[in-house]
Each structure stands twice: as structure tokens, then as C-alpha cells.
Amino acid sequence: MKFNLFKKKPEAMVAPEPTGDTTMTMAPASAVVVSTVVDTSGSNNTEISKNDMFEEIKSKFLNEIDKIPLPPWALIAIAVVAALLVLTCCFCIIKKCCCKKKKNKKGKKGKDGFNMKNMQGGEKHQDDDDDEGETGLTEEEKEEEEKEEEKLGKLQYSIDYDFENTKLTVGILQAADLISMDSGGTSDPYVKVHLLPDKKKKYDTKVHKKTLNPVFNESFVFKVPYEELGGKTLIMSVYDYDRFSKHDIIGEVKIPMNTIDLGQPIEEWKDLESAEKEEPEKLGDICISLRYVPTAGKLTVCILEAKNLKKMDACGLSDPYVKIQLLQGGKRLKKKKTTVKKNTLNPYYNESFSFEIPLEQMQKILVAVTVFDYDKIGKNDAIGKIFVGSKATGLGLKHWSDMLANPRRPIAQWHALQQEEDIDGQLASLAAKK
């Protein structure tokens, strides 16, 4: 829209003859003659025209609002909500910008200088909370800081490699300042040593009772060609021995073999690091059948088959056999074993073993079943173990109860193998409760 500043077209005025002090410029015919003198009536007309323009816009705006098919209160509510949304967005943006500035300032302060509050010992907890709020640390970062502050202890070890005989000798010398794991303020520490990724060959030191500063002075030898050492990692894990439950790990030292110089013997201290939580290792399953004849007092244990056994040999297979032990009060009464099945992780046996047990003794008997990997040279390693009996729990107890509830009938059941040390701990606990 175009608005004219004057309602009427101004008429041309005849100017007096020009003198020396006054000049006048003539515009072309199409142009408007502009006078050098503006009278007060022109300014009043301008203000009036502006007011008229405002009134005209206002009336048009109200007419447009009247055309909207909503009641006045709804329009007011919509306007209020819109205003609140705009104010909220502005507030959030301002707050975010302020927080970033504070965080940047705090970070620069931590890098370039030091905080004088840390020099004062008598600070209140409220001051510490204020400092934490200013840093803007996430929960994960705080947990990492707590882990760094927590001291688990340290381990002294030695490493020596014999290039002629391709032997790696690892010495576990001593540990110091271990954290207490028992209620008495001490621990029963020992150290496990193995080379990843080979988990088959593991060495354990002797257990030292009730001490946080054990001296081991034990060494272990791994036969490893030098060209294979670069892909291995030496793990030295410190455990707290527990007779009746799973042994708790205190901490560990990891040494990738490609990061050290084996040209000369190494002897050093290293702080223990918290061990990563590993998922329970799958050892495999075994299917056994139980049958009891009360009149004859005869218990028959049949080893049917096993499946998905853990790989124990370098070729990715195992040579498994099964050992059955009859236990009473922690003492071994009898033992028997199956034949060895070569190069398989899914052996089939179907071998039966009978034991004479009077009915009154059945509540005191436990049957332990252990799967071993046969090795011509060296010790046969346990793959996994289970036990059944009236004092067992879970599936071991259910299998035993089903057998007693169905005399003269063979009852077959699959069992998941567990770590041998875990089962031995449970058996020791049961023997102590007699």
C-alpha cells in the first residue's frame, strides 16, 4: 500500500525574484517542487496521516481475527501457550550456553592451574559437592576416577626367555598391600599364571594364609616358540582362596608379549588392575542315567554321552574320558572311569558302572562325575564336573530324587558341566556341615 503524506496535491507557488542570499532549484516537469521552507502545518498533517494508518491496520487486524471461527477465550489461551513456549525455549538456550562456559572455564582451570581448595584439609562435604557440580563429570567418568583411586595392591614378577630352548620362565616373587577380602581384615592369596589365548595350561602358586604381603618365590615354564610369542598375552591373576565357595579375584596384571624386550631378564613391580568380568565359560554337557534297585541295594550309573565339550588341544579338539567317584562325608569310597574317546568334542560312551549301597546309606551318598581331557605327556586336565545326591541342589537333587521315586527304572538327564574348583568347593562345604 502506498500512502501520500498530503491529502491534497500541493499547488505550485510563485517564488519571488532570486536575490543573492536565496536560491531556488527548478525540477523537471514530472517532478514535485520542493520548497526549502516547511511550515508547521505540514508536520501536523504527517502525524495525522500516521495515526490514520495505524487505525486502519488495527481495524483490518481485528476484522481478520473476527473471521476466525474460534471464541475469544480460545484465541487468548493459544496466545498465552505460544508465549510460554517461546520463553521456555529462550530460557533453555541461555542456560545451555552458560553451562558450557562454566565447564570450559573449569577445564582450563584444572589444566593450567591448581585449585587452592585442595590445599585445605578442613573442607566440608558441601564444598566437595559444589566442586563436583562445576566439573560437569558424567557418572561413568566418576566411576573411572573411583576405580583409579582404589588400590588393589601390587605384584612383583620376573620374565626370562631362553632362545635356545624356546622356554619362557615366569617368576612370581611377591605381592604387597593387597586389599583384604576376608572379614578378619586379611586374605588367603595365591596367583594364577597363564598365556592367552591358550587357556589350557595354567599354573597356580601355593596359597598363603591370612596375609596381605605374601612372598611366593615360585617360577613356571611355558614352552613357546619365539615367533609365536608376539601374539600372546601373559596374565597373572591374584585370587583370594575360599574353601567353601568360589575363589574371589583381587586383581590382575596383563602383559602383551609384543610390548616387552625379551633380550634381557625383566624383574619389576606393577600395580594390580581390576579384572574384567568374564561371562561364564561354556564347558559342555553330559548325559547320565541313574538306576537304583532297593531290594538288591544296587546303584547303576551309566555314562551315555557328552556334547559341546570345551576345546582343550591345540588342534581344537579333546580326548575326553569320564571319572565317577562315590563320596560319603567328604571321603572317596570308590572310583571308576570310562574309556578315552580320541579327537572329539561330542563323545558317545554308553558305559555302565554298578555300586552296592544299602538303602539306609542312600541319603548319605554323593556321586561326582568329572570329564577329563587325556594327555599322554603331563597331567590330565579337567574339562568340567557335576555331582548328584540328596545333598545336592538344583538339577543334581532333582535327578537323584526322580531315581529314588522310580525304583528299578533308569532315569536319564542332561547336566551342564561346571568348573571343577567350584564343585570341589561345594563338596567341601557339604562335608564340613556333617
**Which residue, chain included where needed, has cell 597331567?**
379
Count of CB atoms situated within 10 Å of the CB of 366: 23
DSSP string, 74-128: HHHHHHHHHHHHHHHHHHHHHHHHHHHHHHHHHHHHHHHS--GGGG-S---HHHH
pLDDT, position 410: 94
Residues 6+ apart with CB under 8 A from 20: none
The SS3 call for residue 331 is: strand
DSSP string, 264-325: S-EEEEEE-BPPPPPPPPP--EEEEEEEEETTTTEEEEEEEEEESPPP-STTS---EEEEEE
Q: Given phi > 0 = left and psi -120 to 50 = alpha, else beta, which region is 218?
A: beta
Confirm if 324 and 335 have CB atoms less than 8 A apart. Answer: yes
pTM (two decimals) = 0.47
Q: How many other CB atoms are there within 10 angstroms of residue 244's CB atom?
A: 13
pLDDT tens for the chain, residues 1 to 434? 444 434 444 444 444 444 444 444 444 444 343 344 444 445 555 556 767 777 777 777 677 766 666 677 777 888 888 888 888 888 888 877 766 555 444 444 444 444 433 444 444 444 444 444 444 555 555 555 554 456 888 999 999 998 888 889 999 999 998 988 877 788 889 999 988 877 667 888 998 988 999 999 999 998 888 888 888 889 999 998 877 667 888 889 999 888 888 888 999 999 988 876 655 678 999 999 999 999 999 999 999 999 999 988 777 889 999 999 999 888 899 999 999 999 999 999 999 999 999 998 998 999 999 999 998 877 888 999 999 998 898 899 999 999 999 999 999 999 999 988 888 888 887 887 65
Say how far apart CA 78 and CA 80 lie, in whole Å: 5
d(Cα 114, Cα 126) in Å, to the nearest integer?
Answer: 20
